Structure 1
């Protein structure tokens, strides 16, 4: 028998039979994203996201087939059922979900109280198969297991699949169930024929379920401790309550991802804690999020502090909980359900002091809550037992001060002293696909923006009385920040002469067989940009000795949003090149009909390298909603400085100011023209007399989350009115 974590044991002990009827109405959301149909349901008992994948005539059948998937925030758990047409002809099976004949709804809740244990919860519905179908691969337990299968090598651990049990039911149906590695929790999926459909048959040789053409009811449920959800009113501050009526889709989505002890990154693939995602979301959405105890802002910061690595101060990137945590523990011969954390990222540490300052220093609620909050004792990770939030925060701040001191020292402004990815890791910041940084080891966003912004926040926290035993951080952190602000951009700068830029863009389009216009008439001078990283796979063709990864990108937004830099010549030049990239259409710049591409490899001069940043790459020539939000908020912040008491020089440079303002308005035009995509994680495109948005998952196996926490930030980030002429 596996030992439950003390966290789960406490929950099990405290469980009583909950009320059968919820006091508040259930929330429902239908989100079509062909070939995916998404249905979200939640009430006081449980939360569910159901996705039906139904191939279209133009689908790539090698990566996309019929599938019914359930995702549950509790335990980051769920199930997936992969189907094939019985006749084996890809594309002939196009399942759909049908409304209940009794309730008229697509999904209905399952709630079965169990004396002395957690209730069995989930959803029921009806699926119609237009042709006979086989359920070939059921996966029950962890979303992480499903994600690894869907995006990896399509191989499942025999230990996971070996736990599947198949049984026939008296009503001509069939059930697949699996007990988790904790020997407590069970996931159950049942199909029952409806309206004259043929019986479900279990093929004992293959463990397939066989269906005829027709409609089948399904029940999908599990018994695991429920998360305490924040409803829409609880997730938002009182001043923002009108958003519930004005933007019901986004506020319902926010509530689905918001809980008293953490906010979840996205659904279905990232339905759990991710430190970077939650803090960036908080910082962009802070004007509308709830404050105080059990509010959304404190849920974010407390979740981060709970998961800090006490040994070195690293902030947790992704938690591992539920069945997948037990599975990984068993792989190490540890009999435990204790959660685990992934600490491989190098960017997330620097977001913590920024989030702390923005709330505990800059808001009255945070100031009042500070003492009680930081005296809270951590309970999530057994290794952090006995440590207060204040102690854990100080461990991380000490790590940051130590990591940034060498570069800030006299004569220390060298590549060697910049922040590098961990030696054993290919990723370490938000562009965390294997090709996201083009092989780079020293990320631009971390060094040129997050490090100095984190240091500024540490100085502000110190001045406010935090870290009383380290009073020198007040002055030291500000001094470090100034050096990092002023001296990091130079390492990432790429300048491509005009004639070479024209040639590179034309070759990029031709060599990549792209069907898009080159737009090289827009190249009227040398092209300047800041590459995504240093020490990559290919140097810029204009400078073979340069270590810069030659990919234009949107990560300028970090510096615009997080910093008010004071080097006037540098600030003006930086704003100028950002504006150029927004005003220039791809592949000269970053703009397209579907938004700003987060990467543009047109200036790399290497076709095979550029192919890694295609419209089918997770961090390639694709659009991420939150990067649009941060760019909008960042440029708005810089333009807003022109009305401050300390006006930057660019504000009085009329041509430059107007260019920046034009780029801001161009960006917001793109945002408003792509409203249908904004709340999703990432989207790609097809080109046919213009760019048309298309799901990334229709091109590659990696799907986009239909709702991503940091893509909901347009609830708070909005277009502002700025006057023309500086």
Structure 2
């Protein structure tokens, strides 16, 4: 039986991109090689499914975050995907991502995290209408009613603001695209002015710490009306950052890279023939004091980059073997009998770290003190070459067996380990498991694998990369044993003393940053002999 499905809408149609428009020649040759290998038909089917998934989510106007959930624009998802997929994408794909983010940019340069359209827009406008009526603002409430279906933008996130300069800098520095094409792209749709507005936004956020590198000058999450800090980076559940105010990923990874991106972009604009006078006319945000100071004085910008690279020190945690053992024991006593029995057995077999346990805290509290949650976010450092030694240091806590670190042989790396924090954090994660110590995220697995492969491929000939290859093999084997490698996220349950992998209930079937597995598969053929 053959079924036909027709979908209609009163919204403007999106422009689908074909696989030839999405993927570069290197990837297509890789896919052809997989197709020519009759010994692994399942691999070809999986690859084809993911390529089709990419086609489903990729449009000229935007990349959608997933299906059936999150079937719309999400800024962070799109920008992170651009960074991970660069080895396999057509160079022009960067233009679709940057143009989409710039199209939705707030006037002050803030990147939109998420759009609400259709029924979601109506629900959000209705909530706004009710709130205005409750406050007695009747005229303002009436003004909402004629525009219930208008698209709404959510500018609440922090990390995407710093990721846009990184992606834009990569595009402008890409030698595969001619200068004239880049110039035309920037001058269309007011993109240059919008991009510079984002650079100014980042400069305003980053300049306090660049001037005075005290911990409370780091980039902060916003505060909710109830006094808590709103998780405003990728771990955007209520408990995601353990109640922290300053996120490690925002401050130690993205802020320094964003400032580097500002320098790259300003240099690229000059090479494209966009003079300082032209920039002043075309992009008024270049006059913003923070950005203008760095534009006039590249040495000052470089000093700011160096200062921000030092922000990592605020997140460093070092626990003695004895302290680590005591905290893990306390955490397991707090757990359910089933969890306690299983993980005490694992911990007894593996033993605590032989030496001081060192890791980067997930976040800092309101006073700038580390909240000691082991986490997968340091893998994002590896998306640019850092060297074998530093890569091993950054990944050591991720590959340390749980309950000491994050690694579970039958599952992969858990997204967090709260054992070294306190009962308040434990309870928060028990109430909100989305980014808790019971979950593996496919996104983070792909970042880790991409990062390790990036390091292997970047080292000079003759340097020993076998430790990094072993990390790749270990991670792949564990994730494959879960049977859920290609899911958005997955978890586990303990039954009769056994750990059983389980799909997480709200995960999407087709998810944008899970499809970055396509880049992982391509890179692994080069990184693993």
Deviation digits for residues 383-436 of structure 1 (CA, Å, limit 9, x no counterpart): xxxxx0000000110121222122222xx1111111101234612100100000
- Contact kept in structure 1, 2:105 and 2:194, CA below 8 Å: yes
Cα distance in 1 for residues equivalent to 2:368 and 2:220: 17
1:146-545 paired onto structure 2 within 5 Å: 223-242=10-29, 243=31, 246=44, 247-292=47-92, 296-310=93-107, 312-329=108-125, 331=129, 332=141, 333-334=143-144, 335-336=146-147, 337-365=149-177, 367-377=179-189, 388-409=190-211, 412-424=212-224, 426-465=230-269, 468-469=275-276, 471-472=295-296, 474-485=298-309, 487-513=310-336, 514=339, 515-516=342-343, 517-520=345-348, 521-535=351-365
In structure 2, the CA distance between the partners of 1:553 and 1:429, relative to structure 1 (3 Å rule), is same
Deviation digits for residues 72-124 of structure 1 (CA, Å, limit 9, x no counterpart): xxxxxxxxxxxxxxxxxxxxxxxxxxxxxx42x5xx303xxxxxxxxxx26xx
Deviation digits for residues 653-688 of structure 1 (CA, Å, limit 9, x no counterpart): x7xx765553343223334445x5333321111235
Cα distance in 1 for residues equivalent to 2:223 and 2:14: 37
In structure 2, the CA distance between the partners of 1:671 and 1:366, relative to structure 1 (3 Å rule), is farther
In structure 2, the CA distance between the partners of 1:557 and 1:234, relative to structure 1 (3 Å rule), is same
Deviation at 1:562, TM superposition (A): 4.2
Deviation at 1:317, TM superposition (A): 0.5
Cα distance in 1 for residues equivalent to 2:424 and 2:243: 13
Cα distance in 1 for residues equivalent to 2:26 and 2:263: 30
**Which has a greater percent of helix?**
2
**Which has a greater percent of strand?**
1
In structure 2, the CA distance between the partners of 1:692 and 1:396, relative to structure 1 (3 Å rule), is same
In structure 2, the CA distance between the partners of 1:358 and 1:557, relative to structure 1 (3 Å rule), is same
Deviation digits for residues 586-632 of structure 1 (CA, Å, limit 9, x no counterpart): 1111111211111001112x344223335961111211111111112
Cα distance in 2 for residues equivalent to 1:672 and 1:478: 43
Deviation at 1:473, TM superposition (A): 6.2
Cα distance in 1 for residues equivalent to 2:193 and 2:61: 19
In structure 2, the CA distance between the partners of 1:720 and 1:480, relative to structure 1 (3 Å rule), is farther
In structure 2, the CA distance between the partners of 1:673 and 1:234, relative to structure 1 (3 Å rule), is farther
Deviation at 1:483, TM superposition (A): 1.5
In structure 2, the CA distance between the partners of 1:422 and 1:616, relative to structure 1 (3 Å rule), is closer
Cα distance in 2 for residues equivalent to 1:723 and 1:618: 32
What is the CA RMSD across the aligned residues, in angstroms? 2.8
Cα distance in 2 for residues equivalent to 1:366 and 1:257: 27
1:571-586 paired onto structure 2 within 5 Å: 572=389, 575-586=391-402
- Contact kept in structure 1, 2:385 and 2:454, CA below 8 Å: no
Q: TM-score normalized by structure 1?
A: 0.60
Cα distance in 1 for residues equivalent to 2:297 and 2:363: 29
- Contact kept in structure 2, 1:683 and 1:696, CA below 8 Å: yes
In structure 2, the CA distance between the partners of 1:616 and 1:690, relative to structure 1 (3 Å rule), is farther
SS in 1 for 2:220: coil
More deviation, 618-627/545-554: 545-554
Deviation digits for residues 120-146 of structure 1 (CA, Å, limit 9, x no counterpart): x26xxxxxxxxxxxxxxxxxxxxxxxx
Cα distance in 1 for residues equivalent to 2:28 and 2:469: 31
SS in 1 for 2:372: coil
In structure 2, the CA distance between the partners of 1:480 and 1:366, relative to structure 1 (3 Å rule), is farther
In the alignment, structure 1 segments of 5+ residues that lack a partner are 1-101, 111-120, 123-221, 378-387, 537-544, 566-570, 698-702
Cα distance in 2 for residues equivalent to 1:414 and 1:557: 25
1:620 to 436, 439, 444: 436
Deviation at 1:633, TM superposition (A): 2.0
Cα distance in 2 for residues equivalent to 1:579 and 1:235: 31
- Contact kept in structure 1, 2:246 and 2:368, CA below 8 Å: no
Cα distance in 1 for residues equivalent to 2:509 and 2:528: 36
Cα distance in 1 for residues equivalent to 2:365 and 2:406: 23
* Structure with larger RCO (C-alpha < 8 A, sep 6+): 2
In structure 2, the CA distance between the partners of 1:723 and 1:696, relative to structure 1 (3 Å rule), is closer
- Contact kept in structure 1, 2:379 and 2:395, CA below 8 Å: no
Deviation at 1:474, TM superposition (A): 4.1
In the alignment, structure 2 segments of 5+ residues that lack a partner are 36-43, 130-140, 277-291
Deviation digits for residues 158-183 of structure 1 (CA, Å, limit 9, x no counterpart): xxxxxxxxxxxxxxxxxxxxxxxxxx
- Contact kept in structure 1, 2:81 and 2:512, CA below 8 Å: yes
Rg larger in 1 or in 2?
Answer: 1
How many matched pairs?
A: 464
2:374 to 538, 552, 556: 552
Cα distance in 2 for residues equivalent to 1:681 and 1:262: 20
Q: TM-score normalized by structure 2?
A: 0.80
Cα distance in 2 for residues equivalent to 1:677 and 1:369: 42
Deviation at 1:445, TM superposition (A): 0.3
SS in 2 for 1:437: coil
Deviation digits for residues 423-474 of structure 1 (CA, Å, limit 9, x no counterpart): 3461210010000011101000010000111111211122222574364364
1:681 to 485, 488, 512: 488
Cα distance in 2 for residues equivalent to 1:339 and 1:546: 37
Cα distance in 1 for residues equivalent to 2:84 and 2:90: 13
Cα distance in 2 for residues equivalent to 1:252 and 1:450: 31
Cα distance in 2 for residues equivalent to 1:372 and 1:563: 31
Cα distance in 1 for residues equivalent to 2:302 and 2:94: 26
